[in-house]
């Protein structure tokens, strides 16, 4: 048993992990403090591509490890499987593990992600993430009839998230799903780190109708957190937007309305991005829940440019305090136009020869502002996957030009 104790701006976090985990603790995650009175700590993944710039090769290895774990857990006697990626942090992980699982012999699956964006006209399974800054989430039943049947009839679901500490959110989601899918009997929890000490699996198993729960993780253990009497948090930032339906702002590259195959980025877009990078390290930045296409673009760059160091991360709405393993916080505009504070953590433009910002939203003032803030004085490459447009920004004081 390995024990680590970390002093955070909000209190003291103690973590215990077994010695037989597949990954070492420090290879998988660091620690940070949430600016959140409901939960003062954060397990900061180093291989998720979210709050930490993650090597694309390490992310691919993790996807393969977890997908193989799901394959082993399910065995050969299971049919259709529904993967669910948890917003916002687990959307990229879930999508990546799903696509890797699809590549295994004889496997068939669909993927849907939860989201915090309202899509008018879609049937919704509402549930809550009680400890989160933004507690409200949605899982949408697909518009497509065949995909709708797969969501509403799957006997086995695979829930993917970066970590588990209590399992309450998973249990709430499973309970909501069983309302529209009474056939649901089996759940597999796929986690980078499981610090719930078995609670997550037990809570999901307590949902009426669930017969079996398996857990696949890269590391498991337990934690304790003690708030500091001196903890002082800033006022809570806005958690929800001022606008309604976001259907026009989300793309077919996301799993919000379900997918049953791998996404394919346009070859011309990849060609333009390859032409824009040099030989120095490259960072591909996703926006909010739109994480997996950034990873896929980074993977394509690494494949096309042997020897190029390629990293992935994403902006986020999560308010995190600078300290411990969060060394910097860059405020950026909300590319979805809802006016919610967004951030890019542990980011320095000077660490990279080129930065590419990947977004799904239509071109707009907020998007241009987000791109300019991330590019800073050196500029960056804007990749709009709705239009396939690749544009180079020459810096915050200069205009945008097509590549």
pLDDT number for residue 220: 94
pLDDT number for residue 362: 87
User: Could you give the CA distance from residue 90 to residue 88 in angstroms, rounded to a whole number?
Assistant: 6
- CA 350-354-357 angle, to 5 degrees, is 105
CA-based nearest residue to 327, from 36, 52, 88: 52
Please report the DSSP string for 152-181 in residue order. Answer: HH-SEEEEEEEEESS-HHHHHHHHHHHHH-
- DSSP for residue 349: G
Instruction: Compute, in degrees rounded to 10, the torsion defined by CA atoms 96, 99, 101, 102.
Output: 180
User: Could you give the CA distance from residue 99 to residue 48 in angstroms, rounded to a whole number?
Assistant: 15
- DSSP for residue 384: E
CA-based nearest residue to 13, from 324, 337, 315: 324
Q: What number of CA atoms fall less than 13 Å from residue 297's CA on the CB side?
A: 37
Contact of 262 with 96, CB cutoff 8 Å: no
Instruction: Compute, in degrees rounded to 10, the torsion defined by CA atoms 339, 124, 200, 48.
Output: -50
pLDDT number for residue 215: 98
Q: Which residues pair with 163 in a beta bridge?
A: 193
Q: Is 362 contained in some domain? A: yes
Q: Is 101 contained in some domain? A: no
Element (H, E) at 193: strand 186-194
pLDDT number for residue 151: 95
Q: Is 328 contained in some domain? A: yes
pLDDT number for residue 131: 45
Supply 72's token pair: 């082993």
pLDDT number for residue 80: 86
Structural domain range at position 312:
263-402
Q: Is 62 contained in some domain? A: no
pLDDT number for residue 135: 60
pLDDT number for residue 402: 39
302: domain CATH number? 3.40.50
User: Could you give the CA distance from residue 393 to residue 398 in angstroms, rounded to a whole number?
Assistant: 7
Number of helices (H), then strands (E), belonging to the chain: the values are 9, 21
Burial of 324 (0-12, 13-18, 19+ CB in 10 A): buried
Q: Is 283 contained in some domain? A: yes
pLDDT in tens, 282-332: 999 999 999 999 999 999 999 999 999 999 999 999 999 999 999 999 999
pLDDT in tens, 129-162: 554 544 678 999 999 999 999 999 999 999 999 9
User: Could you give the CA distance from residue 124 to residue 298 in angstroms, rounded to a whole number?
Assistant: 32
Cα–Cα distance list, 39 to 95, 189, 372 (Å) = 27, 22, 32
User: Could you give the CA distance from residue 140 to residue 362 in angstroms, rounded to a whole number?
Assistant: 22
User: Could you give the CA distance from residue 123 to residue 176 in angstroms, rounded to a whole number?
Assistant: 12
Segments in the chain below pLDDT 50: 131, 133-134, 397-403
pLDDT number for residue 291: 97
Contact of 118 with 138, CB cutoff 8 Å: yes
Structural domains in the chain (count): 1
Please report the DSSP string for 255-305 in residue order. Answer: -TT-BSS-----HHHHHHHHHH--SS-EEEEEBTTB-HHHHHHHHHHHHHS
Contact of 398 with 378, CB cutoff 8 Å: no
pLDDT number for residue 399: 37
Q: Is 253 contained in some domain? A: no
Q: Is 231 contained in some domain? A: no
Q: Is 296 contained in some domain? A: yes
């Amino acid at each position: 048993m390995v024990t680590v104790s970390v002093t955070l701006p909000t209190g003291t976090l103690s973590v215990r992990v077994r010695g037989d985990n597949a990954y070492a603790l420090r290879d998988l995650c660091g620690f940070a403090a949430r600016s959140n009175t409901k939960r003062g700590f954060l397990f900061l993944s180093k291989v998720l591509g979210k709050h930490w710039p993650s090597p694309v090769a390490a992310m691919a290895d993790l996807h393969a490890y977890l997908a193989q774990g799901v394959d082993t857990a399910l065995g050969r006697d299971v049919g259709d499987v529904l993967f669910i990626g948890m917003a916002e942090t687990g959307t990229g992980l879930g999508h990546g593990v799903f696509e890797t699982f699809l590549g295994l012999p004889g496997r068939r699956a669909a993927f849907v992600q939860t989201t915090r964006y309202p899509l008018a006209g879609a049937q919704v399974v509402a549930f809550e993430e009680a400890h989160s800054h933004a507690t409200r989430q949605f899982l949408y039943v697909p518009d497509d009839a065949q995909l709708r049947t797969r969501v509403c009839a799957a006997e086995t679901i695979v829930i993917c998230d970066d970590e588990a500490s209590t399992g309450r959110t998973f249990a709430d989601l499973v309970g909501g799903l069983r309302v529209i899918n009474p056939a649901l009997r089996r759940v597999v929890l796929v986690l980078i780190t499981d610090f719930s000490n078995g609670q997550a699996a037990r809570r999901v198993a307590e949902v009426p109708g669930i017969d079996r729960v398996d857990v696949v993780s890269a590391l498991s253990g337990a934690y304790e957190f003690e708030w500091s009497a001196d903890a002082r948090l800033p006022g809570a930032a806005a958690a929800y937007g001022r606008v309604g339906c976001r259907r026009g702002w989300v793309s077919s590259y996301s799993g919000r309305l379900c997918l049953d195959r791998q996404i394919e980025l346009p070859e011309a877009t990849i060609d333009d991005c390859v032409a824009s990078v040099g030989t120095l390290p490259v960072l591909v930045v996703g926006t909010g829940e739109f994480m997996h296409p950034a990873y896929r673009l980074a993977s394509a760059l690494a494949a096309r440019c042997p020897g190029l160091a390629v990293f992935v991360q994403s902006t986020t709405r999560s308010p995190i305090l600078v300290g411990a393993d969060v060394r910097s916080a860059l405020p950026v505009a909300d590319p979805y136009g809802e006016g919610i504070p967004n951030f890019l953590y542990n980011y320095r433009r000077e660490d990279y020869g080129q930065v590419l910002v990947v977004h799904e939203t239509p071109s707009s003032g907020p998007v241009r502002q987000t791109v300019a803030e991330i590019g800073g004085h050196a500029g960056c490459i804007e990749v709009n996957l709705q239009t396939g447009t690749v544009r180079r920004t020459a810096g915050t004081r200069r205009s945008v030009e097509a590549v």
